[in-house]
Chain A
Amino acid sequence: MPALGTGKRIKAGEQKFALLLTSPALVVLLLTTTFPLAYLIWSSFHTINLAMPFMDGFAGLDNYIDMWGDQRFWHALQLTGIYTVSSVSMQIVIGLGLALLVMQIPRGQWIFRIVAILPIVLAPVVVGLFWRTLMLSPNFGLVDFLLQWLGFEQVNWLGAPTPALISVILIHTWQWTPFAFLVFLASLAALPLDVYEAAKIDKANALQRFWHITLPLLRPAIVIVVIMRAMISLSAFAAIFAATGGGPGTASEILNLYAFKTSFIELNFGYGSALAVSLLIITMAVSGVLFYLRTARRQEAAS
């Protein structure tokens, strides 16, 4: 980080002081997360099955080897990928589109900002329940009614495999697009006007201006939103759990749900822990790549 290179400001004792500032937070984190994390990893190397306590013991890599041959795991992994990529990209595209639109409105943007926060605030458990019945249920839900009224065919949203996956993605997108929208709206408002004026003089059209000016300037905002949302998407739980429980069959069972079911319904804590550890590794890998991209960009821009 460039901030560190400026040695002249560093006085003696700065390190100590820095440690002093960070230590309360780090101590809390060390105390509260180290054991759980260690326990999680430890149990992923053990057989811990409450239904068969006599089998318990060290398992080495067995759980991970089982995972390799477990089709349901690969299926869940694939769903996690689809779920994360599609919900994050929809949040970006729709959020940005809405932000650009609302930016054009001369007055009353604050109303949009306040209303936009509402879906975010609703508890995810309730989001799942509402969508499940009041919105999507065929022959009863509002969405079903409106679509049929508009002349579309009835869709069995949560009762058929592919629509169910689409539904849980849409539900997540619905709840969290406002976040992207708010970030983009705030960031757009802070963009320097003079660049646009210059571009207008150059007779660039709206699309060109967006593509060559707005988008590059917004890149940091987009990257931040992608990082934050991807991390949340990867471990989404409550809304899917309430809406479909991972079903029908295993059609919307992302890895996080599979880990939960294995640990808490099948009571196979060892294997469930291994699934959770694999999810942790994936999350770290994904965010590692995203952070690397972000830092690389920053350095490029700073030099």
Chain B
Amino acid sequence: MSVHQRAAMRRNVILMVVASVLLLLWVLPLIWALIVSFKSESEVLAYPPNIFFTPSGQNYSDALVGDFSIVPSLVTSTIVATMTTLLTILLAVPAAYAFARLKLPAKKTLGFYTLATQMVPPVGLVIPYFLILNKVGWLDTYHGMIIVYLTFSLPFAIWLLVSYMEDIPFEMEEAAFLDKASRLQTLWHIIIPQVRGGIAVTVIFVFLNAWNEFLFAVQLGGNTVRPVTVAMYNFVSVEQTLWAKLSAAALVAMLPVVIIGILGQKQIVKGLTVGAVKGGGRR
């Protein structure tokens, strides 16, 4: 091993250690939540914080199979978030394609409208949504909740996808047109594969937002649609906060999104890449 190599290695090790320590510090609250989730309630707030205790899985079994099981709510959240994501992608991809690549009448106005709808503070929309859903009898229904979530996810998704589609070099599309392929086929065969990363990023954020939403879930849902963010309040009752059980429930509720994130890792990394010199330097 040369002196150079050795120096490089030492440098790498130091970097590794520094980065790992920083990362650990960053996720310390989550590590602590994980530890707390195995404690008994009376030990949670012990001070100085103790890390030596007999771990118990009781909190998890209470959160999953106890009287306050969050499992039915996990199912609800899964349905709502999945349907919201599917519909969003289905509607947003063609729309984004038209915005980014085609000559659309009144494009600027429509684009502005789409964007503006995303900026309305949710707080200002609770009452009108309540009134509308009540009018059509969709309070506390899956379709009602999904439609409300669509109004937030659609503009966001269109906007995000447009920025990805604008980056695809036109040369590729041109080649397809020479083949006389129809535009839909162009969209399907040329554009979508190019923005797969962008779609992955859109999927995960739309899903995440629907999954973690609280304000509308609590105001527009009820006994039928009771997403997990609302159900977690069973551990934050008027009487007391059950920290250990809340931690267990919150960590379990994170899993679905984390799994999607891990599965879609490669595409997401591609999608999160902004400003790379791809597509013939269009920027």
Direct contact between A and B judged by beta carbons closer than 8 A: yes
Point out residues on A near B: beta carbons under 8 Å.
Answer: 1, 3-4, 6, 9-10, 14-15, 17-19, 21-22, 24-26, 28-29, 32-33, 35-37, 39-40, 43, 98, 101-102, 104-106, 108, 110, 112-126, 129-131, 133-135, 139-140, 142, 145, 149, 174, 177-178, 182-183, 185-187, 189-192, 217-221, 224-225, 231, 235, 237-238, 256, 259-260, 263-264, 269, 272-273, 276-277, 279-280, 283-284, 287, 298, 301-302
Interface secondary structure of A, over-half rule: helix
Which residues of B does A touch, CB under 8 Å?
Answer: 12, 15-16, 18-19, 22-23, 26-30, 32-33, 36, 44-45, 47-49, 91-92, 94-95, 97-105, 110, 113-129, 131-132, 147-148, 150-151, 154-155, 158, 163, 166, 170, 173-174, 177, 183, 208, 211-212, 214-215, 228-229, 232, 236, 241, 243, 246-247, 250, 253-254, 257-258, 261-262, 265, 268-278, 282-283
What residues of chain A lie closer than 8 Å to B282, measured between beta carbons?
302
Query: Which B residues lie within 8 Å of A256 (CB)?
Result: 121, 123
Further 18 A-B residue pairs, CB within 8 A, beyond A121-B258, A301-B283: A21-B97, A24-B95, A25-B95, A26-B114, A33-B120, A40-B124, A98-B19, A102-B19, A116-B26, A118-B258, A119-B29, A129-B246, A130-B33, A130-B250, A187-B276, A237-B123, A260-B123, A263-B127
- Output the least CB separation between A98 and chain B (Å): 7
| CB neighbours of B110 from chain A (8 A) | 22, 26
Chain A residues positioned under 8 Å from B246 (CB to CB): 126, 129
Q: Are B166 and A3 in touch, CB under 8 angstroms?
A: yes
Q: For B151, what are the chain A residues with a Cβ–Cβ distance below 8 Å?
A: 28-29, 32-33, 36
Chain B positions within 8 Å of A33 at CB level: 117, 120, 151
Give every chain A residue within 8 A of B122 (Cβ-Cβ): 235, 237
A24 to B267, CA, bound (A): 27
Is the CB–CB distance between B274 and A121 below 8 Å?
A: no
Of A121, A220, A221, A273, most buried by chain B (CB within 10 Å of CB) is A121
- B102 and A21 contact, CB distance less than 8 A: yes
Q: Return the contact of B274 from the options A6, A120, A177, A224 (Cβ within 8 A).
A: A224
Alpha-carbon distance between A66 and B98 when the two chains are bound, in angstroms:
44
- Contacting pair B276 A18 (CB below 8 A): no
**Partner among A24, A115, A126, A145 whose Cβ is within 8 Å of the Cβ of B49:** A145
Report the minimal beta-carbon distance from A216 to chain B, rounded to whole angstroms. 10
Assembled-state Cα–Cα distance A105/B22 (Å): 14
Please report the C-alpha to C-alpha distance between residue A112 and residue B23 in the assembled complex, in whole angstroms.
7
Query: In the bound complex, do residue B170 and residue A3 qualify as a contact, i.e. CB atoms below 8 Å apart?
Result: yes
